[in-house]
Amino acid sequence: MTTCPDDVLALAAELAEIGREVTLSHFRQDVAVESKDDASPVTIADRRSEELMRERIARQFPDHGVVGEEYGPSNPGASHQWVIDPVDGTNRFASGHPQFGCLIALLRDNRPILGIIDMPALDERWTGALGHPTTFARHGERSTVRARPCDGLASASLFFGSGNMVRPEFRTALDALRTRARFALYDGDCYAYGLVANGTADVVADSNMGVYDYLPLVAVLEGAGAVITDWDGAALGLQSGGEALAAGDRGVHGAALELLQQAREMQK
Residues in contact with 114: Cβ distance below 8 Å, sequence separation at least 6, in sequence order: 4, 8, 9, 12, 104, 105, 106, 128, 129, 130, 219
CATH code given to domain 153-267: 3.40.190.80
Alpha carbon distance 224, 148 (integer Å): 9
Q: How confident is the model at residue 70 (pLDDT cuts 50, 70, 90)?
A: confident
Q: How confident is the model at residue 40 (pLDDT cuts 50, 70, 90)?
A: confident
Q: Which CATH number fits domain 6-144: 3.40.50.720, 3.40.640.10, 3.30.540.10, 3.40.190.10?
A: 3.30.540.10
The residue-averaged pLDDT of 253-264 equals: 91
Element (H, E) at 196: helix 189-198
| Per-residue pLDDT, 39 | 63
The residue-averaged pLDDT of 53-70 equals: 96
Q: How confident is the model at residue 80 (pLDDT cuts 50, 70, 90)?
A: very high
| Per-residue pLDDT, 207 | 86
The residue-averaged pLDDT of 102-122 equals: 97
The residue-averaged pLDDT of 45-69 equals: 95
Residue 73 pLDDT > 80:
yes
Alpha carbon distance 51, 150 (integer Å): 41
| Per-residue pLDDT, 143 | 98
Residue 252 pLDDT > 60:
yes
Mean pLDDT of the chain: 92
The residue-averaged pLDDT of 88-104 equals: 93
Buried b (16+ CB within 10 A) or exposed e, 227-242: bbbbbeeeebbbebeb
pTM score above 0.85: yes
Lowest mean pLDDT among 4-18, 41-55, 68-82, 154-168: 154-168
Residue 31 pLDDT > 90:
no
Alpha carbon distance 237, 217 (integer Å): 11
Percentage of the chain beyond pLDDT 90 is 74
Q: Locate the domains of the chain by residue range.
A: 6-144, 153-267
Residue 107 pLDDT > 70:
yes
Residue 29 pLDDT > 80:
yes
- Condensed to tens digits (0 to 9), the pLDDT of residues 129-175 reads 999 999 999 999 999 999 999 999 999 999 987 655 556 667 788 88
Higher pLDDT residue, 48 or 165?
Answer: 48
Alpha carbon distance 2, 85 (integer Å): 26
Residue 82 pLDDT > 60:
yes
| Per-residue pLDDT, 119 | 98
The residue-averaged pLDDT of 84-96 equals: 91
